[in-house]
Amino acid sequence: MTLNPSGWRPEAPQGGTADAPTFTGNRALMLEEPLIFEIGATDTTGVDFALTPAANGSRLAGLERAAPIGLPGLSEPEAVRHYTRLSRQNYAIDLGLFPLGSCTMKHNPRLNEKVARMPGFADVHPLQPVDTVQGALEVINELAVWLIALTGMHGVAMTPKAGAHGELCGILCIKAALEARGEGHRKVILVPESAHGTNPATAAFAGYAVEDIPATAEGRVDLAALKARLGPDVAAVMITNPNTCGLFERDMKAISDAVHAVGGYVYCDGANFNAIVGRVRPGDLGIDAMHINLHKTFSTPHGGGGPGSGPVVLSEALSPYGPLPFTARMADGHVRLIEEENAGEEHPHSFGRMTAFHGQMGMFTRALTYILSHGADGLRQVAEDAVLNANYILRSLEGTLDAPFAAAGPCMHEAIFSDAGLAEGFSTIDIAKALIDEGYHPMTMYFPLVVHGAMLIEPTETESKATLDQFIGALKSVAERAKAGDPALKSAPHFAPRRRLDETLAARKPVLVWKEPTLAEAAE
């Protein structure tokens, strides 16, 4: 095949068909896009700069570049088109249902975005004088009040920037509380098999030894095994509820009582609070600390490395050890920011700061907008509809996919399936890749680890029945093909910009640097 002028060559399966490839590699509006290095030349620039007279000398103090920078030079239209074409290859919640279990890919209401862009919120600066940011502090404080009320807890730390950051905050509160009462020797944290994977990592990062607690056959914490392991060396239990099997821990209060009886604390991973908000208050279950992912329960943006926000609600026992800063309403009605210099005797036991400033303002604004637009009754319906949608998927796929915990009763916010019953040689990865051809981002795969070939699906509350029916139909079709041993599944996806990759090789030996191909390589 002849190279086109830009120097890159379309592959036959990516453009048209193997028998009738297109010259460009495009398939109508599915546009093929090469690497940016393959578009522009590295020895040119898309912008004209006037040459600097040598007489002026250099102001770089000997730090001048000694070799070409190696970046391609593109004109403005070329650059805009490149990234626009790449963006068309993304999947997003604005395009369709996002079935990722455990990650709660919720719709982000546009009202939230409008409010977050209001002057005074969008352009607020953390170093402004406190008397000039009373509106922003009011938002932080009002959101804090709602989070405390919805969880039945005593206080809240607003500054943690993400779920795992919130976990660390909670564990550091527990560590500070134990040290304050002379029990810093407690060095073990128990983590059930059904917990989120960040839980043991957080405990280890904080300097604790981590021990597993097994799950029962129905996917919940083995209460007897937990009680048998409790002792004077246990600092805390980190438990996810609802757990990653999509099930509510019915013994949560008994677990908390048992841990408290031996002097330990209970940390709850609140990532799945979306399933119980307005229905269950974790504080009533004996929880001492719980982070809340604002992107999961309160609709702030999710993914892309941030911006994250993971406030941590604290029991009365742990509130004195929470981080600074925090907001407090004064007798005159103003909201005050309590920091190191003015904490005084009000908060002497804080373990310190989690972040440089006061938290993620844009996420606070979006979350409070979501809460106020729903109200208490609306938030309760959020949980009810999320659970309804997940159970609709669970029961609609009965007889098609194996659901290991279906007999345990209704699920919560997510339904879990396994790859049992597929034809020999077929597994979860084949179903996931075939779903891409159907126009869906695959569900969460191979997690939780307690289920072989796990497929974890969370539809969230905003998906309509028609949307769910179409997804169920697509998943049924793919599953039946996998059970029948359809060989075409082994090479899916067929219609995506790229065919199936060797993901194991890519993870172990990633190619991180682009190198210009030689003439021989380009001619192959």
pLDDT 10s digits, 65-83: 888 788 888 988 999 999 9
Total count of domains within the chain: 2
pLDDT of residue 6: 40
Helices (H), 337-410: 340-343, 361-396
Q: Kindly indicate the confidence band of residue 402, based on its pLDDT and cuts at 50, 70 and 90.
A: very high
Nearest C-alpha neighbor of 389 from the set 271, 471, 280, 277:
471
Position 5 pLDDT exceeds 50: no
Same-domain pairing of 256 and 203:
yes
Listing DSSP states for 236-252 in one string gives EEEEESS-TTS---TTH
Q: Kindly indicate the confidence band of residue 20, based on its pLDDT and cuts at 50, 70 and 90.
A: low
Same-domain pairing of 296 and 171:
yes
Q: What is the pTM of this model?
A: 0.89
Domain boundary among 318, 340, 368: 368
Domain annotation covers residue 246: yes
Same-domain pairing of 193 and 283:
yes
Place of tokens 């890519």: 506
CATH assignment of the domain containing 436: 3.90.1150.10
Domain annotation covers residue 385: yes
Radius of gyration of the chain (CA): 27
pLDDT of residue 333: 82
Position 7 pLDDT exceeds 80: no
Domain boundary among 368, 399, 431: 368
pLDDT of residue 257: 98
Q: What percent of the chain has pLDDT over 90?
A: 68
Same-domain pairing of 407 and 458:
yes
Q: Kindly indicate the confidence band of residue 465, based on its pLDDT and cuts at 50, 70 and 90.
A: very high
Domain annotation covers residue 384: yes
Domain annotation covers residue 247: yes
pLDDT of residue 12: 41
**Token pair for 411:** 């699920």
Residues 413 and 272 sit within 8 Å (Cβ to Cβ): yes
Domain encompassing residue 354: 120-368
- In tens, the pLDDT along 291-343 reads 999 999 999 988 665 578 999 999 999 999 999 998 888 888 888 888 877 76
512 vs 68, higher pLDDT: 512
- In tens, the pLDDT along 108-132 reads 999 999 999 998 899 999 899 988 9
Position 406 pLDDT exceeds 50: yes
Q: Kindly indicate the confidence band of residue 11, based on its pLDDT and cuts at 50, 70 and 90.
A: very low
pLDDT of residue 305: 55
Same-domain pairing of 178 and 265:
yes
Q: Kindly indicate the confidence band of residue 100, based on its pLDDT and cuts at 50, 70 and 90.
A: very high
Position 142 pLDDT exceeds 90: yes
pLDDT of residue 524: 67
pLDDT of residue 14: 45
Domain annotation covers residue 101: no
502 vs 148, higher pLDDT: 148
Position 1 pLDDT exceeds 60: no
Same-domain pairing of 306 and 431:
no
Position 457 pLDDT exceeds 50: yes
pLDDT, averaged across the chain? 90
pLDDT of residue 9: 39
Average pLDDT over residues 7-19: 43
Residues 282 and 153 sit within 8 Å (Cβ to Cβ): yes
Helix, strand counts (H, E) of the chain = 14, 12
Same-domain pairing of 158 and 276:
yes
Position 23 pLDDT exceeds 90: no
215 vs 58, higher pLDDT: 215
Same-domain pairing of 424 and 360:
no
Same-domain pairing of 124 and 227:
yes
pLDDT of residue 19: 52
Position 462 pLDDT exceeds 90: yes
DSSP E strands in 271-391: the ranges are 289-291, 312-314, 326-329, 335-338
Same-domain pairing of 139 and 249:
yes
**Token pair for 123:** 């352009």
Domain annotation covers residue 1: no
Same-domain pairing of 338 and 409:
no
Question: Distance (Å, rounded) from C-alpha 1 to C-alpha 522?
Answer: 11
Domain annotation covers residue 195: yes
CATH assignment of the domain containing 335: 3.40.640.10
* Torsional class of 246: left (φ above 0), alpha (ψ -120 to 50), beta (otherwise): left
Domain annotation covers residue 21: no
Least reliable range by pLDDT among 31-45, 150-164, 498-512 = 31-45
Q: Kindly indicate the confidence band of residue 56, based on its pLDDT and cuts at 50, 70 and 90.
A: low
pLDDT of residue 335: 86
Average pLDDT over residues 255-276: 97
Residue 289: phi, psi to the nearest 5?
-150, 140
Place of tokens 């949560």: 252
Same-domain pairing of 249 and 328:
yes
User: Of the spans 292-306, 423-437, 504-518, which averages the highest pLDDT?
Assistant: 423-437
Question: Distance (Å, rounded) from C-alpha 472 to C-alpha 167?
Answer: 35
pLDDT of residue 55: 61
60 vs 445, higher pLDDT: 445
